[in-house]
Amino acid sequence: MSVLSCAGLGVTIERKPILRGVDLSIEAGTVTAVVGPNGAGKSTLLACLAGLRKPTAGAARLDDVNLSVLRSRDRARRMAFLPQTPEIAWAVEARTLVELGRTPFIGARGQGQEDRAAVDRAMAAANVSVFEHRIVDTLSGGERARVLIARALAGDPEWLLADEPLTGLDPAHQLDVAALFRRLAGDGVGVVVTLHDLSMALRMADRIIVLAEGAVLTDEPPARALRPEVLRRAYGVEATLTQGPGGPLIDVIRRA
């Protein structure tokens, strides 16, 4: 089973500590949610775990290989990263965009049958097959977000790291994407997501990491990680965990 980890991981930018002493070990086949207030360092942590940002202290490792020394093509074959604010500036068809997810596998002979099948599967999983020939620019924000998920899945990654993948999706598509991530984890993929919606985090994650001011506040099973005292320290709010008809809910009462 693949393990994504980091030890003593820190990022300092212009003498400002963004992340400090982060130690994590995450097993594939699980969904891990990273939550925390704005500016806590969630995106920075995810980029380090994806091997896209070099930490200034410590290291992130994929199965004992330091991500900073892993060749980018080798890394891209195993890990997919879904950025928070993806830039897609070109007027291309959705399928063409999803095909880019196969780039790390395509050799001199170009796209093969296997690549086309992987693109079909990824588009079906993200429920965007109907947009195949639509120009990406003409899709709604939520539709485009799902096309980008398809692009990430097209490489059949062992790891999927997604920065706020539910932001901008309507409730039905949030549920679909949450269910898709759970299904991927069931198939053995390691899913790490940053989320703002704490109730969604409770429902979809096996484990929740709460970041505050660049450090890990707790790293525990969901209901324990989001206990009132942690929410008070992390977010400065009084909140309680209650049982709703659809599952656990975080009820934010007031500022602490």
Residues contributing to the site for Mg ion (CB under 5 A) = 42-43
Q: Least separation, in Å, of the C-beta of 118 and Mg ion?
A: 29
The residues facing 162 across adjacent strands are 82, 193
Other Cβ atoms less than 10 A from the Cβ of 242: the count is 10
Q: Least separation, in Å, of the C-beta of 83 and Mg ion?
A: 10
Distance, CA of 26 to CA of 21 (rounded, Å): 16
| 43 lies in the binding site for ligand ADP (CB under 6 A) | yes
Q: Choose the stretch contacting ligand ADP; rule: CB under 6 A; options: 40-48, 103-111, 135-143, 244-252.
A: 40-48
Which token pair is 162? 């997604």
Distance, CA of 149 to CA of 144 (rounded, Å): 9
Q: Choose the stretch contacting ligand ADP; rule: CB under 6 A; options: 41-49, 91-99, 122-130, 172-180.
A: 41-49
Contact partner, 13, from Mg ion, ligand ADP, none, Cβ < 5-8 Å per class: ligand ADP
Choosing from 41, 51, 58, 165, the residue that interacts with ligand ADP (CB under 6 A) is 41
Q: Least separation, in Å, of the C-beta of 147 and ligand ADP?
A: 23
Of 40, 75, 52, the residue nearest 214 (C-alpha): 40
Other Cβ atoms less than 10 A from the Cβ of 194: the count is 25
Choosing from 1, 13, 179, 256, the residue that interacts with ligand ADP (CB under 6 A) is 13
Q: Are 158 and 2 in contact (CB under 8 A)?
A: yes
Identity of the amino acid at 59: A
Binding-site ranges for ligand ADP (CB under 6 A): 13, 18, 36, 38-44
